[in-house]
Structure formats: structure tokens, C-alpha cells
Amino acid sequence: MKAEEVLADAVAEENELDPEELEIAAWIKQMQEKEVSRLQRAGAKAIPLKVKNMAIVRETSDVVLNRVEVDTNFSMDKISQILVAEETAPVPNKPQYVYVNVLLLPAASNPTAQVALVMPYVYDAHVIGNSLTQWVFINNKMERSHHVIT
């Protein structure tokens, strides 16, 4: 059994997805794990953040929100910085969709204790006006946190 199949089986146990969605979910998890490993090799403290759901919401003609339901009780209001990777990857079997790593940095009282939360994000690259600067996070407590990258 290949590593991809094992990963797909593990993802299948956590989610109710069809076979194509399972492959994509496993691929996303691999991409996230690669980024976590890369950051850790560089000496950073990085942990993966599990995502339950993601969507693009058009609030107005000028405002496009990247809405992400995260599987954590952590208050996303504590995020002080959001870093969106410049490098993206096309999502297999999903034309127009792109994967990007997003680093969420909580405010840290001690800079040496800074931890990066590595969040995978998949979006339709053809949505007009989505500059990946408007983010809404919803945690397991249903707390909504809105962040704008300036």
C-alpha cells in the first residue's frame, strides 16, 4: 500500500468524503505536512491547524472574505499576523482551484516562544476581487474572528 493510500484511508476515517474528495484531502494534508516540516527544519516552531471547512464569501462587490472553520477551541482573535505564501499549487482534478499555505501567528509575550499555526487553504483562483487579505475564522466554540491584511 502506498503512502498516499494510507493517508487517504486516515482522512476517510475522519471525514465523509467521496473518493475524489478523499484524494484531494490527502493531498492537502501532505502539502501542509511538507510546510510544517520545512519550517521546523529551519528552526521555527510550527504546528498544523486542522480545517473543517473553507469557502469564499462575497460580502459586497468590493469585499471578498476567505471564511475558514478551524478545528480548535483556540480564540482566533489572538492571531496578530497572517502570512500568505507566495507559492501556490494547482489542486489535482479541480480546475481553477489553488492551494496555498497560510501561517497564523498568535501574539506572543515572549518572541522566542512564537509558534506558527500552519493552515492549508484552497480557493477558486478565478473569483474576481479575492486578494487573500480578508479572513474570517470560526473556531469550535463558534467564535467568529475577522482579520484584514494591510
112 domain residue, yes or no: yes
CA 50 to chain centre: 8
79 domain residue, yes or no: yes
Bridge-based pairing of strands 115-124 and 144-148 is unpaired
39 domain residue, yes or no: no
pLDDT-based confidence at residue 61 (cuts at 50, 70, 90): confident
**Over the stretch 84-121, which tens digit does the pLDDT of each residue have?**
999 999 999 999 999 999 999 999 777 677 899 999 99
32 domain residue, yes or no: no
**pTM score:** 0.85
Q: How many domains does the chain have?
A: 1
Cα separation, 73 vs 71, in Å, equals: 7
Structural domain boundaries enclosing 100 = 44-148
Q: How many CB atoms lie within 10 A of CB 60?
A: 7
Helix axes 3-14, 19-41, angle to 10 degrees: 110
Residues constituting the chain: 150
5 domain residue, yes or no: no
117 domain residue, yes or no: yes
List of residues 6+ apart from 86 with CB closer than 8 A: none
Cα separation, 64 vs 66, in Å, equals: 7
The per-residue pLDDT for 13 is 54
Question: What cell was used for 114?
Answer: 512564537
101 domain residue, yes or no: yes
